[in-house]
Amino acid sequence: MKKLAVVAFGGNALIRGNEKGTIQQQEKNAYATCESVLGLIKNDFNVVITHGNGPQVGNILLRNEAGYNVYKIPKMPLDICVADSQGGIGYMIERQMRNVINHNKMRRNVVTLVTQVLVDIEDPAFKDPSKPIGPFYLKEEADLLAKANDWQFREDPRKRGWRRVVASPKPMDVMNKKIVKDLVKKGHIVIAAGGGGVPIFKHKNNYLEAIEAVIDKDLASALLAEEIGADNFYILTDIPKVCINFNKPNQKELDVITVDEAKKYLDAGEFAAGSMKPKILAAIEFVENGGGETIITEASQLHNKDCGTRIIK
């Protein structure tokens, strides 16, 4: 039996550094990230790919505003924008994954699933928006946009600017997890739960209501990994290893840590909200609920079996 890995692409899998995010840049980055995933496939893993959508869904919302202001095109709600980003990003990753596979003369099917994820309508996250989406702004720009659109902004932990924040409820269940599990067991590469999934709420009569929010992609990916019985959960980011005392003279990389150690670092405030904190929470969630180990690393390190920071029981 092959092992099963869920690989969560971070934002830099498509848009890096100070890039504008043109389609040419995103496709080039997607190809490079998919090349890295090939290392897992060659090491006898079946693979499910998930991805973020922070910059992309923010841009979709900006196009919403521009289209309405100039042409009076009706605005689409946030759940539709998330679904739009799932389709577009999933298509991009799927096509580049096929290109990588073809280039390496391998045979694998690749499929993208637009994925809905259940949330709780009473989740306290709706009263405390925290999920950053869209581009970075100067403080003055953010203040103007907040006043004009009734948006909320927070400063980036790395001081790169100010970003809009929206509600980020906890994922409760991935709707098509059984389909994902069936497909990946047959050796297909599956792209699912993009952008954390489209958030929905199920009423007692089973009616599914759309919810305006963006689910954290790492938490949704951890849940999916748990629900399909993954052995390993990879969270790809823009640094090779997790650090404590980040950006300080005594910064230290972490190699292997236990769940208990990770919790101690969390309690000590070592990991910033909207940055490394949700990744560590997702890592803990997966391992505590039966997963083998979580690996947080840079995509280019996937060829190395001992890459990244590894969170174990």
Supply the CATH number for residue 109's domain: 3.40.1160.10
Residue 137 lies in a domain: no
Query: Considering only 152-161, 213-222, 278-287, which range has the smallest mean pLDDT?
Result: 152-161
Residue 187 lies in a domain: yes
Look at strands 152-155 and 189-191 and give their pairing.
unpaired
- Structural domain tally of the chain? 1
Which one of the listed residues 181, 217, 241, 277 is annotated catalytic? Answer: 217
CA–chain centroid gap for 311, Å, is 18
Which one of the listed residues 11, 58, 291, 292 is annotated catalytic? Answer: 11
Query: What pLDDT is stored for residue 272 in this prediction?
Result: 87
Please say if 241 is a catalytic residue.
no
How many of the other CB atoms lie within 10 Å of CB of 186? 10
Please say if 305 is a catalytic residue.
no
CA dihedral 185, 191, 196, 198 (to 10 degrees): -100
Residue 157 lies in a domain: no
Please say if 263 is a catalytic residue.
no
Instruction: Look up the domain containing 278 and give its range.
Output: 3-119+169-240+274-312
Cα–Cα distance measured from residue 49 to residue 99, given in angstroms and rounded to the nearest whole number: 16
Which one of the listed residues 279, 291, 292, 308 is annotated catalytic? Answer: 279
Range 110-117 average pLDDT: 98
Query: Considering only 136-140, 157-161, 179-183, which range has the smallest mean pLDDT?
Result: 157-161
Residue 102 lies in a domain: yes
Residue 49's H or E segment, with its range, is strand 45-51
Percent of the chain with pLDDT over 70: 100
Residue 302 lies in a domain: yes
Which one of the listed residues 29, 52, 131, 274 is annotated catalytic? Answer: 131
Range 245-263 average pLDDT: 96
Which one of the listed residues 12, 29, 53, 59 is annotated catalytic? Answer: 12
Range 225-243 average pLDDT: 96
Please say if 11 is a catalytic residue.
yes
Query: What pLDDT is stored for residue 157 in this prediction?
Result: 84
Please say if 2 is a catalytic residue.
no
Query: What pLDDT is stored for residue 223 in this prediction?
Result: 98
Residue 181 lies in a domain: yes
Residue 295 lies in a domain: yes
φ/ψ of 172, rounded to 5, equals -105, -35
Query: What pLDDT is stored for residue 54 in this prediction?
Result: 87
